């Protein structure tokens, strides 16, 4: 199996507070990994370490062949291989949806405008936003904005996509459309790591579930651990209906 992400014994502190206390896991190509846990368990921090938004204090992380702990890391290529979608969408407000998606294609992959637009339109159709290509973010609902944000990352053809609680800020009736897009991405073979509170989605789609507790991987396994947790903490977490 092709290992896309290898996290080994990672420690990280914010100021003096330890947030990650020895996190280790592996993600293979085409796998969908759901990272779950209470607020403050370190799951978002762990995710953000994978594309170097946060740096680590000790341990090692290898992503798509890049060694993140190495000083000679080529950040630009790493960012091209890893896409991320945020909880607050972070679409650029002064650009239309299509311009949002095409921006990095033109500036980073240096594609000519026509080609960039064509790719943007294709990816937007993939997430069901083809008819909203000329709209501005403020004209869209939360679910639509999040789908546009997914399209924006997807257009760069990353090897790995990270999702940081992407449905947590949405009204309940809007989460479905976003989860649908994520499920179709997974079925298409995209390697994905998602930090999520959507247990049923994780149970349905994830190959691997990682439960984080107090900065460590407390329990890990396939989706069955959600139905039959081994540890007391996970039992309590799943039982609380989150």
Partner 1 sequence: MQYSFDYSSVLEYWPQFLHGAWLTIQLSFGATVLGFALGSLCAAASNSRSRWLPRIVGIYVEVIRNTPLLVQLFLTYFGLSSIGLPMSATVAAMATLVVNVGAYTTEIMRAGMDSVSPGQIEAAECLGLSRLQIYWHVILQPAMERVYPALTSQFVLMMLATSITSQISAEELTAVANLVQSMTYRAFETYMVTAAMYLCLALLMRAGFTLLGLVLFPRRRKLGTPI
Of 53, 41, 44, 47, residue with least CA distance to 7:
47
In angstroms, give the least distance from the CB of 154 to partner 1: 11
Answer yes or no whether residue 110 interacts with partner 1 by CB under 8 A: no
Q: What would the DSSP string read from start to end of 3-57?
A: EEEEEEEEEEEETTEEEEEEEEEEEETT-EEEEEE-TTSSHHHHHHHHTTSS--S
Answer yes or no whether residue 88 interacts with partner 1 by CB under 8 A: yes
Closer CB to partner 1, residue 94 or residue 227?
94
Answer yes or no whether residue 153 interacts with partner 1 by CB under 8 A: yes
The Cβ of residue 240 has, within 10 Å, a number of other Cβ atoms equal to: 8
Answer yes or no whether residue 73 interacts with partner 1 by CB under 8 A: no
Among 72, 94, 131, 239, binds partner 1 (CB under 8 A): 94
Answer yes or no whether residue 169 interacts with partner 1 by CB under 8 A: no
Beta strands in 112-204 (DSSP E): 160-164, 191-195
Tokens of 167: 């449905």
Tokens of 122: 């294709």
Answer yes or no whether residue 92 interacts with partner 1 by CB under 8 A: yes
In angstroms, give the least distance from the CB of 230 to partner 1: 35
The Cβ of residue 47 has, within 10 Å, a number of other Cβ atoms equal to: 20
Closer CB to partner 1, residue 76 or residue 227?
76
Given the rule CB under 8 A, which residues bind partner 1? 51, 53, 76, 79-80, 82-84, 86, 88, 90-96, 103-104, 107-108, 136, 138-139, 149, 152-153, 156
């Amino acid at each position: 199996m092709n290992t896309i992400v290898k996290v080994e014994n990672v420690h990280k502190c914010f100021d003096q507070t330890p947030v990650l206390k020895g996190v280790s896991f592996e993600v293979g190509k085409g796998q969908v990994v759901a990272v779950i846990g209470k607020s403050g368990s370190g799951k978002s921090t762990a995710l953000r370490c994978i594309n170097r938004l946060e740096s680590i204090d000790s341990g090692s992380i290898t992503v798509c062949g890049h060694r993140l702990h190495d000083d000679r890391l080529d950040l630009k290529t790493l960012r091209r291989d890893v896409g991320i979608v945020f909880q607050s969408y972070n679409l650029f407000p002064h650009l239309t949806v299509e311009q949002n998606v095409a921006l990095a294609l033109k500036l980073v992959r240096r594609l000519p405008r026509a080609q960039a637009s064509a790719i943007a339109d294709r990816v937007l159709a993939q997430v069901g936003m083809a008819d909203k290509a000329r709209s501005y973010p403020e004209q869209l609902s939360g679910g639509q904005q999040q789908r546009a944000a997914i399209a924006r990352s997807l257009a760069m053809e990353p090897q790995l996509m990270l999702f940081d609680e992407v449905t947590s800020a949405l009204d309940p009736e809007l989460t479905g459309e976003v989860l649908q897009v994520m499920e179709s991405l997974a079925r298409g073979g995209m390697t994905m790591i998602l930090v999520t509170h959507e247990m049923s989605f994780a149970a349905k789609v994830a190959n691997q579930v990682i439960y984080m507790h107090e900065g460590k991987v407390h329990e890990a396994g396939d989706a069955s651990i959600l139905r039959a947790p081994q540890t007391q903490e996970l039992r309590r977490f799943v039982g609380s209906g989150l």
